[in-house]
């Protein structure tokens, strides 16, 4: 089953808009609410992360990793949105998820919200939120006793890099 709204393109031709295949996309309201939650969570996360850096709980290298990965993710989503509009070769969803998994999920959340890209596809959103949980779990692990050993090594490495 397919549901859609009738709209027009730039040349005044009739076209289907907001096409929804049964069970494939979230309704616009749900995608907007999830996007708002993701955007809010990303903002709070980055503020807490910056606070952890300021109070010496995390090295600044980790904060920079999140900012760089977020910028890369945002650009990847933007390029994919542009490619979708122009009918060109698209970025694989697994690649977009990989950017989120390595720390770019805040940028991906911003891109989904601002560009309205990949925000309504339910299967994509399930994996997207799973990557957020995995990434935050890995970051949380750094505060455990075994993660503290790795964290100390990262602190040392970042000190060496800043002293050069």
Query: pLDDT (tens digit, 9 = 90+) per residue, 147-159?
Result: 888 878 877 887 7
- Whole-number Å distance between alpha carbons of 110 and 93: 17
Task: Look at 10 and 100; give whichever has higher pLDDT.
Answer: 100
Q: Among candidates 93, 138, 151, which has minimal Cα distance to 117?
A: 93
Torsion sign (Cα): 85, 1, 28, 48? negative
How far is Cα 153 from Cα 75, in angstroms, rounded to an integer? 31
Q: Rounded mean pLDDT of 16-29?
A: 59
Q: How remote is the C-alpha of 63 from its chain's centroid?
A: 15
Coil vs helix vs strand at 89: coil
In this prediction, residues 66-91 reach a mean pLDDT of 93
pLDDT of amino acid 72: 97
């Amino acid at each position: 089953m397919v549901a859609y709204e009738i709209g027009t393109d730039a040349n005044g031709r009739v076209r289907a808009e907001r096409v929804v295949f049964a069970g494939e996309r979230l309704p616009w309201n749900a995608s907007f609410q999830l996007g708002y939650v993701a955007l809010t969570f990303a903002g709070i996360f980055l503020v807490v992360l910056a606070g952890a850096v300021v109070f010496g709980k995390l090295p600044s290298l980790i904060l920079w990793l999140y900012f760089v990965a977020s910028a890369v993710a945002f650009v990847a989503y933007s390029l994919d949105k542009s490619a979708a509009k122009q009918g060109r070769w698209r970025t694989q969803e697994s690649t977009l998820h990989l950017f989120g998994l390595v720390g770019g999920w805040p940028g991906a959340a911003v891109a989904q919200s601002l560009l309205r890209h990949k925000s309504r596809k339910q299967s994509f959103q399930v994996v997207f939120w799973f990557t957020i949980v995995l990434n935050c779990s890995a970051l949380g692990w750094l505060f455990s006793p075994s993660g503290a050993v790795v964290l100390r090594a990262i602190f040392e490495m970042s000190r060496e890099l800043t002293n050069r």
